[in-house]
Amino acid sequence: MNKHFAYWIAALLFAALVLGKFNPQTGFTSLIRFGETGQERRHSAMRDLPVATTSGSGGYDGQFYAQIALDPLLRAPDLAQALDAPAYRARRILAPATASILGCGNPWWTLQAYALLNVFCWFALGWLLYRQIGSADRFAVARWVGCMFSLGVLDSVRQSLVDLPALLLLALACQAYTRSRAGRSSLWLALANLAKETSLLGTLALLVDPSLRPFPWRRACLSLFAAVLPLALWSLYVQGHFGSTPGSEGWGNFTWPLLGLLAQAKVSLREVSLGNFDSRYSFSLIAIVGLLVQAWVIWRNPRLSSPWGRMGAAYSLLLLFLGSWVWSGYWAACRAVLPLTIAFNLSLPGTRSFWPLWILGNLTVLHGVWRFL
């Protein structure tokens, strides 16, 4: 078998999943998941556009970022009412701003660009990881598939979220760091932080390298400042526009260590024992097992001298602090710690334990594909 054949098959499968969401009237807007119950609050620029709408649903987070893309400078008076948490959503400006630029001011093309942004990021990350993994034996293919078809990655594409763009930028920062390109690494980190503020954790993990002796504190602090400054300035701008607007700031996403995970496990076990095998409960148990296996593999043999090793360790700690808001839809937990999933697959040992660990750590892959259908 040609060594590239498996990768081509995987890429074609992904392309088929995406093309299955296309509609001649609404384009790819089904990937954004606009909800029917929020139609009256939509941004005025899109109210007459033929967009796919989920009946009887409030939609999902991508619909808010898509509407920010129609007004990335946050100047429209009706934008605040179109967003569930204006300041929280607007801080994650990179993906909406990119779609706005690609759309050239046309609302319809802006929505299409936003819907397809994650698709581009999928192929870009796939190529980046393919080059990093290097070989094309069965272990390499399995590592790549575990990353690219993880539930967190596929759900970011399926619902046009900001998780995959942020992950791609962190991967680019890791690549630049390993090549000793500090300036380029700081640039990618700055963009990752503008894509999703939890990328700050990845920024710290990448720049604090314990393998360097003596540690270059001055260079690290300068790189950290450069990576964080754009987000800080943009946050001040957002605060000036939405500071008085009520809404969540996202702190409910976090809680004391393990409380959110244990609460979700308790609820899921109760529902499953009562015969309720809804995926929210049955697959959340599977996801909990998979993510804990990922964290265990990372800490069993810590590779803190490796950028991805540090990234995985950092996001394994974040896993412990995720709150009930995140775990109530376990797919959100999988997205929140995507760098952990990548680090896990890249660090799996090529020994007899590879396949049992790969299966346990990637238990949600099949459900990720199923949810896309």
Residue with token string 């796919």: 52
Looking at the chain, the whole-number percentage of residues with pLDDT higher than 90 is: 89
Half-sphere exposure of 101 (CA within 13 A, CB side): 6
Which pLDDT band, with edges at 50, 70 and 90, does 202 fall under? very high
pLDDT tens digits for 5-29? 899 999 999 999 999 999 999 999 9
Tell me: the pLDDT tens digits for 123-135? Answer: 999 999 999 987 7
> At residue 296, what is the residue type?
W
**Ranges of each domain in the chain:** 5-372
Q: Is pLDDT of 243 > 90?
A: no
pLDDT of residue 181: 93
Strand 53-54 with 34-35, pairing: parallel
The whole-number average pLDDT for the span 298-310 is: 95
The whole-number average pLDDT for the span 355-370 is 96
Interval 205-221: pLDDT, tens: 999 999 898 999 999 99
Residue 109 clears pLDDT 60, i.e. is over it: yes
Confidence of residue 244 (pLDDT cuts 50, 70, 90): low
pLDDT in tens, 91-104: 999 999 999 999 99
The whole-chain average pLDDT of the chain stands at: 94
**Whole-prediction pTM:** 0.96
Q: Is the predicted pLDDT of residue 3 greater than 70, yes or no?
A: no
**Which residue, among 123, 126, 125, 101, has the nearest Cα to 114 in the 3D structure?**
101
Q: How confident is the model at residue 247 (pLDDT cuts 50, 70, 90)?
A: low
How wide is the angle at C-alpha 149 spanned by C-alphas 54 and 116, nearest 5°? 50
* DSSP conformation class of 54: E
Q: Please write the tens of the pLDDT for every residue from 317-352.
A: 999 999 999 998 899 999 999 999 999 999 999 899
The span from the CA of 319 to the CA of 112, in Å, is: 33
What is the mean predicted confidence (pLDDT) over 224-246?
91
pLDDT band at 1 (very low <50, low <70, confident <90, very high): low
Q: Is the pLDDT of residue 47 over 90?
A: no
Instruction: Tell me if 361 sits within 8 A of 344, measured CB to CB.
Output: yes
* Sequence letter at residue 16: A
